[in-house]
Amino acid sequence: MFGSHNQKSMPLANGSHICEEVRITGVISASKPLVLFGQIDGNIDAVWVHIKSTATVNGDINAQQVTVDGTVCGIVTADKVHLSASAILNGEVRSKGIEIDEGATIEAKFTKEQELNG
């Protein structure tokens, strides 16, 4: 799964967007897809999370699917994780499947999990 580019784009309809100018301190819980352009200092619990290149998360992410283009410092727990070439990850990944694009900056522990958020 490393470097394969067959992951489908995250659906954006009926989802939530957090703009680049927004900084949130606290816990975010979302039952729809979440697209983050800003900064979160706290944990995220959502169905699908997309951390855009302008975004930073200082906290843990728990979701079915996570795509990281930006910066994450914390534990990512998801069935599927995609780290793009612009991703910066410092922490831990617990996942059933992971895709890492060439160029991603990673300092993390990886754990393959059998049962997570499904």
For 53, phi then psi, to 5°, come to -65, -25
For 32-44, the pLDDT digits (tens) are: 999 999 999 999 9
52 C-beta neighbours (distance < 10 Å), count: 18
Give the residue extent of every domain in the chain: 16-112
Alpha carbons 43 and 11: distance in angstroms, whole number: 22
Tens-digit pLDDT profile for residues 52-111? 999 999 999 999 999 999 999 999 999 999 999 999 999 999 999 999 999 999 999 999
Q: Which residues contact 112 (CB under 8 A, 6 or more apart)?
A: 95, 96
